[in-house]
Structure 1
Amino acid sequence: MFRSLFPHDVFAEMDRLQREVQQALDLSPNIRGFGRGGFPALNVGGTPQTVEVYAFAPGIDPNSLEVDLERGMLTIAGERKSRLPDAGQQSTLHINERFAGSFRRVINLPEDADPDAVQARVKDGLVHITIQRRAAAQPRRITVH
């Protein structure tokens, strides 16, 4: 007879809406990396000899990763499969915060990055890419006589 216009748990619904709005407006990084750019979360840095890229991609099959370097652009692409119950099963999903699907991240590398000296390794969901810098661009000390 009487039907409420509000969900049964108004406070839970308001909490969910607040988290969604806060996440959409938050520009600081968070554990999933969505605040600034997407999946996978990236750390990019380097030394005088190398450019170091770390991609945090747990749950990714290393064989499904594609790492390409072309014209100074490093591309990391792949897909993370969903591990949710099948639609045919009688189950209810209450919260789904884990990213699943195809992804593609592109990083503009410095001009001195050497495309012929790149290594990529994966361990425990961490993709570590090392790109050597060209020898001509290395800083060096010049002796004054």
Structure 2
Amino acid sequence: MTGTFRSSADMFAELNRLQGILEQAFRPHERASIRALPGAAFPVLNVGSTAETIEIQALAPGLDANSLEITLDRGLLTVAGERKSALPPDERGRASVYARERFAGRFRRVVTLPDEADPQRVDATYRDGILRITVHKREASKPRRIEVN
């Protein structure tokens, strides 16, 4: 065989990559390959609230905490960063991939926060692969008891 491909493994890897691109474009929520699970949004988020706070947990193992960028602007909380590939490259600087279930690359997730979110009171911690973001609620939005005279 002539051209770009030097082995059947290279050709298979390239065809699998192209299939993944097409599947993501046309069916992003379905199975992306016969050999791998679908590429879900990364990081996976859990969002909830308490009486005092709005809690966001991002399940994001394998990140460097310094690579995370968290912003809050006009009620939109954005979590962005990059997850490096854990695959060792071969002698040509590439890795042969047969199934890719672990996300690698740049990511960006955006969460719309409720009006009661206080953009001045946000805390974030990253530990054991979980990014925890706590957004406190505005004091004015909390219920208070009014005494009757």
TM-score over 0.5 for the pair: yes
Partner of 1:135: 139
* C-alpha spacing 1:124/1:141, structure 2 compared with 1 (3 Å): same
Contiguous gaps of at least 5 residues in structure 1: 1-19, 26-30
The structure 2 residue matched to 1:120, chosen from 124, 131, 134, is 124
Q: RMSD in angstroms over aligned alpha carbons?
A: 2.5
Q: Does 2:73 correspond to 1:73?
A: no
Partner of 1:24: 30
After TM superposition, the structure 1 = structure 2 runs for residues 5-84 of structure 1, keeping only pairs within 5 Å, are 24=30, 34=40, 38-84=41-87
* Structure 1 stretch displaced more, 134-143 or 43-52: 134-143
Q: Is the 8 A contact 2:87 2:95 kept in 1?
A: no
Q: Is the 8 A contact 1:32 1:41 kept in 2?
A: no
Q: Is the 8 A contact 1:32 1:39 kept in 2?
A: no
Contiguous gaps of at least 5 residues in structure 2: 1-22, 32-36
* C-alpha spacing 1:32/1:132, structure 2 compared with 1 (3 Å): farther
Q: Normalised by the size of structure 2, how large is the TM-score?
A: 0.70
Q: Normalised by the size of structure 1, how large is the TM-score?
A: 0.72
Q: Secondary structure at the residue paired with 1:63?
A: helix
% identity of equivalent residues: 51
Partner of 2:111: 107
Give the residue type in structure 1 aligned to 2:103: F
Shift of 1:141: 2.8
